[in-house]
Amino acid sequence: MRSVKTYLFQFSLVASVLIVAIFGAYRYWGEYPRELAAVEAHQKRELESLRQALDQDKQRLLANVQDWAHWDDTYEFVQAPASHESYVKGNIVKGTFLVFNLVGIGYYDKDLNKVLQWGFDVGNEQFVPFEQVLPRELSELIGTGEDVDPGGSVTGWVRTNQGPAEFAIEPITNSDETSAPAGYLLFARLVSRDQLDALQAITRLTIDMRPVEQGDAITAIPLLENKELVEGVQTKRQRLLTDPSGAPVAVLSIEHDPIAMPKAIGPAQIFLLGGLLMVPVLVLTVTERTLVRPLRRNVLRIESMVRDETLELLPEVIPIIELEQIRGAFNRLVRQAQNQQAHLTELSMTDALTGIPNRRSFDWTANGRWRQAMRLRQPFLFVLIDLDYFKGYNDEKGHAEGDRALWNIAQILMKFSRRSGDFCARLGGEEFVAVVLGLSESDARSWVEELRLAIEQLGISHPRSQVSAVLTVSMGAVYIASPDGDDVITPLSDIIRQADLALYVAKKEGRNRITFRILELDSLVHQ
């Protein structure tokens, strides 16, 4: 026994620990993962908008290339460049490079051979050798082999001496596009700061781009095309741009929209937890002041039970030494009386050998099950079970083994009768009975057969059996699909008589079998 203050302190400590544990578990495994998932979905959408914006930039560049590639002048120039010098003078000028922010323009024949190439230094606004700007062959950008579409457009990223650039390649045809491609036109456009600023305005991301330098550690940087957040939820991350051959071109440094990052335990959670911890303190304060009154009421309850000649257990253990002694003594007397009554009832209703209900319990319970089936119109299954040649088993093995066999079979019956409407009992000797409600006909047949097999599969050796090497049972089953007690009350004894007849047939036909009869109440009434 402990004092009231000791119990109150222990309760306060345990309650506080439980509150902290439950709150922490809810945060870590409930609310916090949902917050992380929401931020992760938001950041995925931001990266997807960046990918789409960059693709749109490349598509706009491709639109310009397509416009030039389908001029008749371009088509004729690629086929006979020496005869169309005016085309070069009129189109390959500084203004073209400055307007489109181009660092290179290339014309190629249909075999990907160079026809004309011009490089441009955007910073100095002067022409430079194309190889100095973009030392790549067209085949490296457009690809070769059977998988390449000779009439298809190509866009992508490429590394130049002035920094990362977008490129677009379009087959050159005449204006009505009726002729086969005569060659290819390439535009390479430098990625400018203005372009990145425009992307930032669209995506609400802070973006920086730097070219990949010799020796950069880029193996751990995911590709921009990777739609998964490999690093998880982060405020900053990097993505890699590559050219068509897979060579690195540039690294994008990305800072996400500055939304609040979730924390497992932050100031708001600490404040909430502090408020929750005040609850047990208040509860304990009130409990200390109001504990004595219910204890006094328990004393009055004892006097009331004495006056009314009733016996009831007092409430749960009360942490007051003096009153607990009174409550304990009284409850021990009540339990003793209740246990004696329960023991007597159990002895009268339970088979001493097998531990399952006996004949008296069957007489008391089975009628109730049958009335329930008629009242609720539930299918009703009644089964009589008799052990085959059990007298010979006792003579051969002895009564001790016979009792053990009866106990084992009773346990099988208990396993098959666990539903609220099921019932089994030992009627006496080697005869058992089972009552089952609510099964369809097919289920009832299966239930009976499975019970017979389960008993047979116990494998109890029976040297004197004439039907098997192991102990078996014969069963008489009566099944009534639709009991209806509105008009005629059919006594259970009629059903027992039918089950007994079915059991007799099972024995007569060789034992270790089931005789299953489907009956209508009308047939019982008119017999």
User: Taking Cα atoms as reference points, which of 373, 519, 515, 357 lies closest to residue 434?
Assistant: 357
* pLDDT tens digits along 391-442: 999 999 999 999 999 999 999 999 999 888 899 999 989 999 999 999 999 9
Answer with the residue of higher pLDDT: 22 or 218: 22
* 473 in the same domain as 329: no
Residues 6+ positions from 409 with CB-CB distance below 8 Å: 354, 387, 432, 455, 458, 471, 473
* 382 in the same domain as 304: no
Q: Please identify, among 305, 325, 348, the residue that sits at the C-terminal boundary of a domain.
A: 348
- Domain extent, residue 332, equals 291-348
Whether the per-residue pLDDT at 83 is higher than 90: the answer is no
* pLDDT tens digits along 238-281: 899 988 888 888 999 999 887 767 777 878 778 887 888 788 87
For the CA atoms of 217, 223, 229, 233, the dihedral, rounded to the nearest 10 degrees, stands at: 50
Domain harbouring 58, CATH code? 3.30.450.20
Considering the chain, what is the average pLDDT of its residues? 85
Whether the per-residue pLDDT at 31 is higher than 70: the answer is yes
Q: Please identify, among 255, 289, 323, the residue that sits at the C-terminal boundary of a domain.
A: 289
* 455 in the same domain as 332: no
Mean pLDDT, to the nearest integer, of 306-326?
A: 72
Which amino acid, residue 229?
Answer: L
* pLDDT tens digits along 350-383: 888 998 999 999 988 999 899 988 888 899 999 9
| pTM recorded for the entire structure | 0.50
* Owner of token pair 């409407």: 421
* 344 in the same domain as 411: no
* 260 in the same domain as 250: yes
Domain harbouring 410, CATH code? 3.30.70.270
Mean pLDDT, to the nearest integer, of 107-135?
A: 90
- By three-state DSSP, how is residue 191 classified? coil
* 76 in the same domain as 221: yes
The whole-angstrom separation of Cα 195 and Cα 186 is 20
Give the pLDDT band of residue 15 (cuts 50, 70, 90): confident
Mean pLDDT, to the nearest integer, of 38-47?
A: 86
DSSP calls for 423-452: EEEEEETTEEEEEEES--HHHHHHHHHHHH
Output the pLDDT for position 490: 80
Mean pLDDT, to the nearest integer, of 21-39?
A: 82
- Domains in the chain, number: 3
* 196 in the same domain as 81: yes
The whole-angstrom separation of Cα 150 and Cα 184 is 10
User: Taking Cα atoms as reference points, which of 449, 450, 452, 447 lies closest to residue 432?
Assistant: 452
* 134 in the same domain as 248: yes
Contact 239, 251 (CB under 8 A): yes
Output the pLDDT for position 430: 93
Q: Please identify, among 265, 289, 313, the residue that sits at the C-terminal boundary of a domain.
A: 289
Output the pLDDT for position 295: 65
* 321 in the same domain as 226: no
Whether the per-residue pLDDT at 181 is higher than 80: the answer is yes
User: Taking Cα atoms as reference points, which of 54, 66, 259 lies closest to residue 164?
Assistant: 54
Query: Percent of the chain at pLDDT above 90?
Result: 37
* 400 in the same domain as 362: yes
The whole-angstrom separation of Cα 387 and Cα 474 is 6
Output the pLDDT for position 323: 66
The vertex-373 CA angle with 372 and 378, nearest 5°, equals: 135
Strand order in the sheet with 183-190: 126-128, 114-121, 102-109, 183-190, 163-172, 154-160
Mean pLDDT, to the nearest integer, of 482-502?
A: 81
* Owner of token pair 């204006």: 175
Give the pLDDT band of residue 525 (cuts 50, 70, 90): very low
* 328 in the same domain as 253: no
The first and second tokens of residue 407, run together, are 């106990």
Of the listed ranges 81-85, 162-166, 210-214, the one predicted with least confidence = 210-214
Output the pLDDT for position 32: 80
Give the pLDDT band of residue 41 (cuts 50, 70, 90): confident
Output the pLDDT for position 383: 97
Dihedrals phi, psi of 499, to nearest 5 degrees: -65, -35
- By three-state DSSP, how is residue 243 classified? coil
Other CB atoms within a 10 A radius of the CB of residue 184 amount to 26
Strand order in the sheet with 514-518: 423-428, 431-437, 380-387, 473-480, 514-518
User: Taking Cα atoms as reference points, which of 95, 99, 92, 122 lies closest to residue 190?
Assistant: 122
| CA-to-CA dists, residue 322 to 8, 53, 159, 329, 501, angstroms | 17, 81, 90, 11, 67
* 271 in the same domain as 252: yes
